[in-house]
Structure 1
Amino acid sequence: MAEINTPSVAGGKAGARRSKKLSTKVDLTPMVDLGFLLITFFIFTTTMSESKAMKLIMPDDSTPGTEMDLAQSNALTVIPLADNKVFYYHGQLDNALKTNTWGVTNYSESDGLGKIVRIKQAALDKIKPGNRKELMLMIKPSPESNYENVVNALDEALINDVKRYAIVDITPEEKEVAAAKALAIH
């Protein structure tokens, strides 16, 4: 605690009036201790930022050879490529090439992959209201793509409220077509 020391009257002479001078030394050691206790308390009681993970549901691999039935009109396949490009097509690849329902885009907010997903959802809603929930987004990373590209595609699925999506292996035919179409547009 803080204490104030008062010296005794000097000399004890009679009749001499001297004013008392008080020493104002304050011991701050307890205040420093209290500060460190508070700092320690707040460090131990705060929670550090927790990592947020996206829930990813993958199909069961325990029964090989089982395939999921999917209408071509509900399928949108996305192939992330190098240089933040995305090759996409609707339905099956051979039909998409014949009917010109494919394209190459990027991850920009205004006219990138998100816009393609929203257009597909609107087209499905036009067929039948509420049909946008039937959209199946298949993400097929190419060997040239990086982890960030796959995460960006998953982010677009989350942003656009796509309920059904999967990360699927790319076929050699899709790899060739995607590379050729991306080079042709570049």
Structure 2
Amino acid sequence: MQNLPKKVRSKKLSSRVDLTAMVSVSFLLIIFFMVATELRKSKAMDLSLPDYDAYTCGWTGGCGENRSYTILLGEENKIVSYMGFLEVPKIAPKKFEYGKDGIRKELLKQNKRMLDYSAQLGRQGTGMVVIIKPSKKSNFKNLIDILDEMAIADISTYVIVNDFTPEESKLLASK
């Protein structure tokens, strides 16, 4: 018998696939979409305004100088506020500073006074309406600070307006 050449059989390699990189990429994608979803949520402050009724003199709850409190924001952290109409104010224009001993103290005092007054009239929980008027020279930080003061003083009805009367502009320029 002759020596026949032996058949050489090829060695079978394992067919395992390493999925470590795929798992890492999957976790990175999951984290990315979770962060992107969280950043996409709006971070806005709720704004509560009174209902407008044309038959009852405008804003619901009565209109007029008794409930309106105006805050003027000027340059260099200047705040001037008054109650009522500027021509005949219920509380004369006064300059304030930011913080607990400044505008916050005044807002708390005036809101408590208005709540007590409205309770006597039988309108429980009707506080004052604050009109915030930032000037063109005021900065964004001042507006955010005054909105924080509204939240701290628990004033639920306020509005941001950018129309200044000439008298208000003079008032901010003085002092």
| TM-score normalised by length of structure 2 | 0.67
In our comparison, the structure showing a higher alpha carbon Rg is 1
User: Does structure 1 residue 102 correspond to structure 2 residue 93?
Assistant: yes
TM-aligned CA distance change 1:131 to 1:95, over 3 Å: farther
Structure showing the higher strand proportion among its residues:
2
1:172 deviates by 0.3
Count of residues paired in the alignment: 148
Aligned to 1:24: none
Structure 2: runs of 5+ lacking an equivalent: 1-15
1:147 deviates by 2.7
Aligned to 1:40: 29
Structure 1: runs of 5+ lacking an equivalent: 1-26
Aligned to 1:111: 101
Query: Any runs of at least 4 consecutive aligned residues in structure 1 with deviations exceeding 6 A, and if so which?
Result: none
Higher RCO (Cα < 8 Å, 6 or more apart) = 2
Give RMSD over aligned pairs. 3.2
Q: Percent identity?
A: 27
SS at match of 1:137: strand
CA distance in 2, matches of 1:52, 1:132: 28
1:112 deviates by 2.7
Aligned to 1:175: 169
TM-aligned CA distance change 1:92 to 1:44, over 3 Å: closer
CA distance in 1, matches of 2:143, 2:80: 13
Q: Partner letter of residue 54 of structure 1?
A: M
Structure showing the higher helix proportion among its residues:
1
CA distance in 2, matches of 1:132, 1:85: 30
Aligned to 1:4: none
Equivalent positions of 1:84-103 (< 5 A) are 84-96=77-89, 101-103=92-94
1:45 deviates by 4.3
